[in-house]
Structures are given as C-alpha cells and as structure tokens.
Amino acid sequence: MTTPAAEENREGGAGRELPVTRIATLFVRLNTFAALLTAGAALIGSTVPVFPAMLYYHIPAGLIAAVFGLFSLVAAMFYLVVTGAGIKEAVVGKGIAREYFLRTKPLKKTLFPFCMTTIALLIAMTVLGGAVHVGKVDWKVHLFFALMTLASYYYTVRKIKDVFQKDRELIADVLDAIDAASASQ
C-alpha cells in the first residue's frame, strides 16, 4: 500500500519512488510566498495615489518582500550548488560514472538566469521605490518594475519547480548507481 505522499513522489509512469527532498519543497514554497509578498506590497502600493497614508504600509511590506525574495532566490540557487557538490562527491568517492555530475550543469544553466533576472528586478524595484519616495522618479516607473518583477517571479517559481523535479530524478539515479556499485563490490 502506498501513501498519497509516496504516490505523489512517483516519477511519471516509471513506478519508481523519488527521494523526498523536503528542503527543495521548502525552497519552492519560500519563493512562492515571497512572490505573494511582493504581490501584496504591489497591491498596497497601488492604493497609495488614492490613499497616501497607505505608503506607511507599502514601504515596510515592499522591503520585507524584497529581502525575503532575495533570500529565497539565492537559497534555491545554493540548493542546486550543494546537490551538485554532493553528486560530485559521490562520483569521486563511490566510483560512479562522471555523467551524473555532468547532468547537474544543465540544471544550473536553466535555473540561474531566471533567478538572477528576478533578483535584479527585485533590487531595481526596491531602489526605484526609494526614488519615488524622495521624488526623483514617477511612481508609474516603480509600478512598471513591480509588474515586471511579478511576471519574472511567476516564471522563476515555475522553473524552480521543474528544475527541482529533474534534480530529484538525478538524485534518484545517483542513489541507484551507488547501490549498483556497492552490490558489485
């Protein structure tokens, strides 16, 4: 009998259980939450032209969303670096094929540009928010960057989910290879 969680962890059609990587799930959820915080700050900010007192809620909400978003995106990238290092260690220490380590690079090449674009937009949006506050930039420019950041965040979170799924499959392949190498010794 399989549990719903185990059933959810099956690779499409193969019937193989993928390893549960709670930290990867955490990073997906953190980035989703950070995107929602950014959307919330944008919604509060959209009321500022009509209700100027909302600025005092928008500023801390925007700063918290930006800092949380930066942390979450860097953590997602760091996760791939760490799993890649673990796979490299398994290749060297357990004598499995180098091909497993080489499969980590396309995952990073796929995800890192999305994360870096969203990080750059988060920083630009925050700086432009400060510029609006001191009267150097029109609020519509800040709003434009907020919308661009939200769109970028949407695609980045989707890409994080896809890449982390492929990473789980790679980890499962590495574990199978380690088991096979151990059995043959």
What average pLDDT values come out for the chain (185 residues) when binned by 10 residues? 41 61 91 96 94 95 96 96 93 89 94 97 96 93 95 96 94 90 79
**What pLDDT is attached to residue 13?**
40
Looking up tokens 């789980």, which residue turns up? 168
Separation CA 168–CA 105 (nearest Å): 14
> CA distances (Å), 140 to each of 20, 43, 118, 124, in order?
44, 14, 19, 14
**What pLDDT is attached to residue 124?**
97
Q: Which amino acid is at 68?
A: F
Separation CA 159–CA 8 (nearest Å): 19
